């Protein structure tokens, strides 16, 4: 597309983007900490966020630009299966309410910053903590890259991104700005920006779901056109309803994604930054307001079908931006594009902070400099957050975007393998550290083998072509598919149980548990275990 | 270390927590909602019922939050 036709959109996008970036720099002075040089302040915003900030922060964290672009793209391409995002976000909040709240308490008592910190204290095993930390970092990288794909889709629609180095320049500039203010302000930057992001997104979506259906002739017409499109395609799996073969996939994907979501280090960062247990609980009952929004956003995919949108090239991720470009006046399309672009910045910042904290606490402090001071930790995290973002940009520049979406699917499958040590570990200390390590190895290996064997002819990938594993490949006489992460997690759990029993029988020494039952229910104001000496235990 | 009297009596066990399993299980029962009819304002059942589950989720979580505060 020609950038000349999109001057109004480009100007509005740029102005809003720069205003918000300015806020990111000012955020360092927001809720004035005496000193930003500690992970508590830089990486967790002082662990003092109340209900409103947490609502915007966690919401901004879980509903990313990629969600706004990719979920409708899924409905556009495959129909009902893409709607799994709605049940998935219904399931996730009660799970957090029951499980992550205990992580908040034990982290409060022990000044923990990452999920791997918890595993370190709970199971007394630096090795297991290292595995959890590496899993978190590896799973987060492609997730950050996906945020860039959201920005890229918008830039493409405005005609200012394509191929070659110069066309990638706007994307690189956007990320340099993001990196600079995250470096300076830490978690305060995305927390403050999240307000603007959400106001813009709500505005755009409310207008979109009233204005666009009205112009297209109503919801009957939209669903009818989608039905016609899917009926005309040769593919078996699409349609506005599920069929006999993808129902198992639908619910295992919804459940698996919900379990994976709160194991991602960045969602944990958002939860740990809140002030007390009540803030989290209240948020878990209020956050589903976003799910309603997500459900309606998803249906933008069908609106794009009804409006006859053609994606740019083969990139289905551009259908929502193109729809906005076709339906809205230029000035409002500019606001909508800014909403998507800023929507990418908030989660990308939180994710890079979370990954940096994992490196600092569970690799740098554990293996490189056990005597690290608070200021040194903050310094290392700030630098690592830059490295992580450079890595994400390289992902986008060097790798086909379609491939990085596949990497994201792998990310979900691998982060699920930390469930036995993190989520189950919050309730029981039954597992032996050796069993958990064996389970992790089995689940990770098994998961990657499953993913390797998933092909996707539509995007010409023989391997890693998605997350729907055909049960027929296990020798079952059926066309049904199942979410690969679900099978890998089952394998992980079975091996972890067997490994625990074997380790007990062989009297393999287990690590010490640094927690007490009341640590899991502690609240704001309870005394903390300060300066816990992590380096003395094995 | 923590002082002995801290938080000893607090617990997060409550029968109300069972209510949270409703929004966890309900969205997984695909046979409940995998149908076109009846439509609501042009939305097939598959879409409006799953959006309605969000409201069920909010209601259950809010009740449990109020009762366990």
Nearest CA among A77, A125, A169 for reference residue A362: A125
For chain B, what percent of residues have pLDDT higher than 70?
86
Please give the residue that has the higher pLDDT: either A465 or A201. Answer: A201
Q: Give the separation between CA A55 and CA A60, rounded to whole angstroms.
A: 8
pLDDT of residue B9: 56
- Mean pLDDT value of segment A442-462: 84
What the block records as the tokens of A389 is 């973002």
As a whole number of angstroms, the distance between CA A82 and CA A299 comes to: 10
CA atoms within 13 A on the CB side of A23: 20
Which range is least confidently modeled, A140-154, A160-174, A251-265, B17-31?
A: A160-174
| Residue in the structure block whose two tokens are 């089995």 | A442
- 3-class secondary structure, B28: helix
Q: What is the maximum alpha-carbon separation in chain B?
A: 61
Strands (E) in A180-219, as ranges, are none
- Please classify residue A447 by burial: count the beta carbons closer than 10 Å to its beta carbon, then call 0-12 exposed, 13-18 middle and 19+ buried: buried
Q: What is the ipTM of this complex?
A: 0.86
Does residue B6 register a pLDDT over 60?
no
Q: Residue A229 contacts by C-beta under 8 Å, 6 or more apart in sequence?
A: A305
What the block records as the tokens of A509 is: 């020494």
Tens digit of each residue's pLDDT (9 = 90 or more) over A467-511: 888 888 888 888 888 999 999 999 999 999 999 999 999 999 988
Nearest to B53 among A87, A281, A286 (CB): A87
- Give the DSSP letter string of A232-262: HSS-SS-BSS--TTTHHHHHHHHHHHHHHHT
Q: What is the pLDDT of residues A177-192, one digit of tens each?
A: 888 888 888 888 888 8
- Determine how β-strand A481-483 pairs with β-strand A468-470: antiparallel
Which range among A114-118, A253-257, A399-403, A460-464 shows the weakest confidence by mean pLDDT? A399-403
**Cβ separation B64–A295 shorter than 8 A:** no
**Shortest CA distance from B42: residue in chain A:** A220
Which candidate in B21, B61, B69 is best for mutational testing of the A interface (most A CBs within 10 A)? B61
Chain A stretch 242-301, residues whose beta carbon is closer than 8 A to a beta carbon of chain B: 242, 247, 250-251, 254-255, 278, 281-282, 284-286, 288-289, 291-292, 295, 299
Contact between B61 and A80 using a beta-carbon 8 Å cutoff: no
- In this structure, what token pair is assigned to residue A263? 């194991």
Cα–Cα distance, A157 to A332 (Å, whole number)? 14
Q: What's the CA angle centered on A40, arms A110 and A361, to 5 degrees?
A: 65
State how far the Cα of A363 lies from the Cα of A355, in Å rounded to an integer: 11
Residues 519-538 of A with CB under 8 A from B: 519-523, 526-529
The residue with greater pLDDT, A404 or A384, is A384
> CA-to-CA distance for A64 and A54, rounded, in angstroms?
16
> Considering only CB atoms, which chain B residues are within 8 Å of A242?
30, 34, 46
Instruction: Read off the pTM.
Output: 0.89
Identify which has the larger pLDDT, A258 or B13: A258
Q: Read off the pLDDT of residues A355-389 as tens digits, 9 standing for 90 and up.
A: 999 999 999 999 998 888 889 999 999 999 998 88
The C-alpha angle A136, A139, A140, rounded to 5 degrees, equals 80
């Amino acid at each position: 597309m020609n950038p000349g036709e999109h001057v109004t959109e480009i100007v509005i996008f740029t102005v809003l983007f720069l205003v918000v970036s300015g806020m990111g720099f000012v955020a360092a002075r927001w809720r004035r900490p005496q000193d930003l040089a500690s992970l508590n302040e830089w990486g967790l915003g002082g662990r003092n966020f109340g209900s409103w900030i947490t609502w915007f922060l966690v919401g901004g964290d879980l509903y990313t630009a990629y969600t706004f672009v990719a979920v409708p793209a899924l409905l556009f391409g495959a129909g009902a299966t893409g709607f799994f995002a709605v049940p998935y976000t219904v399931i996730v909040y009660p799970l957090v309410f029951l499980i992550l709240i205990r992580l908040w308490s034990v982290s409060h008592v022990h000044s923990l910053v990452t999920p791997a910190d918890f595993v370190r204290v709970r199971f007394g095993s630096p090795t297991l903590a290292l595995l959890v930390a590496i899993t978190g970092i590896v799973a987060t990288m492609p997730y950050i890259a996906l945020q860039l794909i959201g920005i890229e889709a918008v830039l493409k629609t405005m005609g200012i991104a394509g191929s070659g180095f110069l066309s990638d320049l706007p994307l690189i500039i956007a990320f340099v700005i993001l990196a600079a203010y995250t470096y300076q302000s830490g978690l305060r930057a995305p927390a403050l920006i999240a307000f603007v992001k959400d106001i813009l997104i709500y505005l755009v979506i409310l207008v979109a779901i009233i204005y666009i259906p009205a112009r297209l002739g109503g919801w009957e017409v939209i669903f009818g056109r989608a039905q016609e499109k899917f009926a005309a395609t040769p593919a078996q799996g699409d349609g506005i309803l599920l069929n006999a073969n993808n129902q198992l996939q639908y619910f295992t994907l919804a459940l698996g994604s919900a379990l994976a979501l709160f194991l991602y280090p960045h969602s944990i960062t958002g939860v740990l930054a809140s002030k007390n247990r009540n803030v989290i609980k209240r948020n878990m009952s209020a956050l589903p307001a976003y799910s309603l929004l997500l459900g309606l956003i998803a249906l933008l995919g069908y609106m794009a079908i009804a409006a006859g949108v053609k994606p740019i090239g083969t990139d289905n991720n551009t259908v929502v931006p193109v729809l906005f470009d076709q339906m809205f006046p230029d000035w409002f399309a500019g606001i909508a594009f800014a909403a998507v672009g800023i929507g990418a910045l908030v989660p990308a910042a939180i994710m890079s902070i979370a990954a940096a904290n994992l490196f600092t606490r569970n690799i740098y402090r554990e293996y490189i400099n056990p005597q690290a001071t608070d200021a040194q930790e903050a310094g290392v995290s700030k630098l690592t957050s830059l490295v992580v973002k450079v890595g994400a940009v390289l992902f986008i520049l060097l790798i086909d975007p379609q491939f990085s979406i596949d990497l994201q699917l792998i990310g979900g499958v691998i982060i699920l393998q930390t469930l036995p040590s993190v989520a189950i570990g919050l309730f029981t200390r039954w597992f032996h550290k050796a069993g958990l390590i064996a389970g992790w190895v089995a689940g990770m290996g098994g998961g990657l083998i499953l993913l390797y064997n998933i092909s996707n002819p539509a995007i010409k990938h023989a391997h890693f072509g998605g997350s729907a594993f055909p049960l027929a490949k296990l020798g079952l006489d059926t066309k049904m598919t199942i979410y690969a992460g679900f099978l890998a997690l089952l394998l992980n759990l079975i091996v972890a149980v067997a490994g625990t029993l074997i380790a007990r029988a062989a009297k393999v020494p287990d690590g010490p548990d640094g927690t007490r039952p009341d640590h899991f229910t502690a609240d704001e104001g309870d005394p903390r275990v300060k300066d816990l000496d992590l380096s003395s235990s094995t | 270390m923590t002082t002995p009297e801290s938080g000893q009596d607090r617990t997060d066990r409550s029968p109300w927590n069972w209510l949270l399993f409703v929004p966890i299980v309900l969205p997984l029962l695909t046979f409940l909602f995998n149908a076109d009819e009846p439509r609501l304002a042009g939305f097939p059942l598959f879409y409006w019922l799953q959006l309605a589950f969000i409201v069920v989720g909010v209601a259950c979580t809010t009740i449990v939050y109020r009762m366990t505060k």
